[in-house]
């Protein structure tokens, strides 16, 4: 077991770029969909809640605060989706995650604090990945240029701006038309996928994993209304896990071949 853990850890380090990319997409979906779900009173599929936050806080005169929380969640999710502004989104997401954990603990929500602790851990992992960009905060010397990261490939072009536009459209429609809001949300997810699939940077296997992740986002957004949606989501999730393990195995094998040569 220790040997297997060590091998898995090495494989994860070797695939850290792609894993961080998946974390951005995952947390982007979690918070984007949670915010839209709150704004549409539950008429948007998502993984976390609660969709009734505004109704609950309205009893204490905090309905507007609930709306602000929902909008912030949408904005932070969109920033992660863009890749271009993902670092900004990751920084801003830390206090959001800490606040959610504090609220869930104070309300004695069973299990929820642990789930949000996982989200916070993933959030910190994104920041740790780009730790060199924060070195200037701890130095009195002038900031030096930081070498580009592998994921910086996905920061260029017009697609990140298209993601922002689709997210703004989703926000604008959320109070007026639920079907159109769902359509705009689906468009946001598709553009988020295109942002990382279309540029050169991912292998074919990695692109398939991203496509399965985007497919799950779309299926969840539809609110389990299509036939066999539960089964399809389970199959997509299993496929993501299996292909991710294959990806790590292949990268480890390639590393061994290079070292052997």
Supply the angle between the helices 178-197 and 63-82 in degrees, to the nearest 10.
30
**Lowest-confidence pick of 163-167, 210-214, 230-234:** 230-234
Q: What percent of the chain has pLDDT over 70?
A: 89
> Using 50, 70 and 90 to split pLDDT, how confident is the model at 9?
low
**Lowest-confidence pick of 61-65, 118-122, 211-215:** 61-65
Average pLDDT across the chain, whole number: 86
Contact yes or no for 221/45 (Cβ under 8 A) = yes
> Using 50, 70 and 90 to split pLDDT, how confident is the model at 6?
low
> Using 50, 70 and 90 to split pLDDT, how confident is the model at 259?
very low
Helical segments of 130-228, H only: 159-173, 178-197, 204-221
Q: Is 202 helix (H, G, I), strand (E, B) or coil?
A: strand
Token output for 42: 């539950």
User: What span, in angstroms and rounded, lies between the C-alpha atoms of 248 and 207?
Assistant: 14
User: What span, in angstroms and rounded, lies between the C-alpha atoms of 217 and 227?
Assistant: 16
Best CA proximity match to 22, nearest among 161, 251, 212: 212
What are the pLDDT digits (tens) for 76-104? 999 999 999 999 999 999 999 998 888 88
Q: What is the DSSP letter of 200?
A: B
Token output for 117: 């602790």
Best CA proximity match to 60, nearest among 95, 100, 107, 96: 107
> Using 50, 70 and 90 to split pLDDT, how confident is the model at 145?
confident
What are the pLDDT digits (tens) for 167-217? 999 999 998 888 899 999 999 999 999 999 998 889 999 999 999 999 999
Beta strands in the chain (DSSP E): none
Segment 48-68 shows an average pLDDT of: 75
Q: What residue segments make up the domains of the chain, in order of their start?
A: 2-132+151-260
Token output for 49: 């809640």
Contact yes or no for 167/75 (Cβ under 8 A) = yes
Predicted pLDDT at 197: 94
Residue found under tokens 């399809």: 232
> Using 50, 70 and 90 to split pLDDT, how confident is the model at 11?
low
Higher pLDDT, 133 or 81: 81
In this predicted structure, the answer to whether residue 63 has a pLDDT above a threshold of 90 is no
Residue found under tokens 């904005």: 75
């Amino acid at each position: 077991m220790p040997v297997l853990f060590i091998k898995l850890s090495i494989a994860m380090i070797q695939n850290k770029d792609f894993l961080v990319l998946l974390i951005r997409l995952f947390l982007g979906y979690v918070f984007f969909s949670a915010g839209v779900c709150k704004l549409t009173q539950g008429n948007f599929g998502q993984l976390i809640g609660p969709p009734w936050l505004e109704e609950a806080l309205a009893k204490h005169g905090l309905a507007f605060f609930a709306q602000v929380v929902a909008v912030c969640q949408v904005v932070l999710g969109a920033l992660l989706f863009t890749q271009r502004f993902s670092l900004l989104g990751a920084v801003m997401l830390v206090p959001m995650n800490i606040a959610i954990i504090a609220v869930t603990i104070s309300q004695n929500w069973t299990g929820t604090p642990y789930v949000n602790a996982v989200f916070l851990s993933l959030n910190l992992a994104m920041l740790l990945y780009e730790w060199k960009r924060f070195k200037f905060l701890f130095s009195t010397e002038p900031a030096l240029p930081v070498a580009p990261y592998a994921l910086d490939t996905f920061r260029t072009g017009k697609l990140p701006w298209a993601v922002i536009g689709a997210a703004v459209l989703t926000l604008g429609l959320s109070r007026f038309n639920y079907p159109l809001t769902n359509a705009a949300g689906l468009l946001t997810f598709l553009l988020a996928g295109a942002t990382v699939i279309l540029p050169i940077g991912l292998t074919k296997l990695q692109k398939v994993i991203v496509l399965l992740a985007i497919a799950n986002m779309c299926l969840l957004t539809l609110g389990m209304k299509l036939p066999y949606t539960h089964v399809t989501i389970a199959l997509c999730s299993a496929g993501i896990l299996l292909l991710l393990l294959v990806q790590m195995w292949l990268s480890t094998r390639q590393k061994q071949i290079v070292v052997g040569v």
